[in-house]
Amino acid sequence: MSGHKHTCQGDHDHDDTPEMGLQYSLYNKIDTGNLECLNERVEGSGKDVFKAWEERLNFEKYVESDVDEELLFNIPFTGNVKLKGLIIIGGEMDLHPSKMKLYKNRPHMTFDDTSIAPDQEFDLHPDNNGTLEYATKVVKFSSVTHLTLHFPKNFGGETTKIYYIGLRGEFTEGHRHGVTICTYEARPNVSDHKTDLMENISHEIQ
């Protein structure tokens, strides 16, 4: 693999530059209160792997699977995301995930749902430094409000460990319809009042 050239799997190496911190800032746009990680050994630990680029090599916080090697993340965003790439820093040796499946806009998926064909999948390579990016099909992932990541297997370990999941892309605020609805409902009320007023004036004149 050479430089930044994309392979058929869509992965390529990245240099460690200050700009990377800005590019991998989508973790700030995750609705962490509703993020779910299925089969995590320690409750709530799945949220810890979504962190700043500068913290990616902080191995004190991580998520490890529980009863087997599978992990599944349901990741809701606070708006619309155009997802362009992911970086996965996994555990040592055989604890590193070896495959990743991506599903878009399917909230609250479970392991039973993963028989559905993913929107994209990758064969992962061991990466302990966060230098390998997996590029998504941007057209397919251009309007993502919810992202599911399924890690079905690793390199032979009984459990899977992940230290960091980096998400690169663009973010736009979600549309708000409440104001539009209120304005629409208010207009006929104003007209009704005007009509009633005109009728009353006409009646008094007569």
Give 194's contacts (C-beta < 8 A, 6+ positions apart): none
The helix (run of H) or strand (run of E) holding residue 182 is helix 178-205
**Which residue carries 């529980």 as its tokens?**
66
Go through 26-40 and write b for each residue having 16 or more CB atoms within 10 A of its CB, e for each that does not. Answer: bbebbeeeebbbbbb
CA 171 to chain centre: 11
Go through 178-194 and write b for each residue having 16 or more CB atoms within 10 A of its CB, e for each that does not. Answer: eeeeeeeeeeeeeeeee
Q: Which of 80-89, 151-160, 179-188 has the lowest mean pLDDT?
A: 179-188
For the chain, give the percent of residues with pLDDT over 70: 76
Is the pLDDT at 10 greater than 70? The verdict is no
Q: Which pLDDT tens digit goes with each residue over 69-97?
A: 999 999 999 999 999 999 999 999 999 99
Q: Which pLDDT tens digit goes with each residue over 114-139?
A: 999 999 999 999 999 999 999 999 99
DSSP 3: T
Task: Please give the Cα distance from 21 to 54 (Å, whole number).
Answer: 7
- In sequence order, the β-bridge partners of residue 147 are 75, 104
Task: Please give the Cα distance from 159 to 42 (Å, whole number).
Answer: 13
Mean pLDDT of the chain: 84
- Per-residue confidence (pLDDT) for residue 145, from 0 to 100: 98
Is the overall model pTM greater than 0.85, yes or no?
no
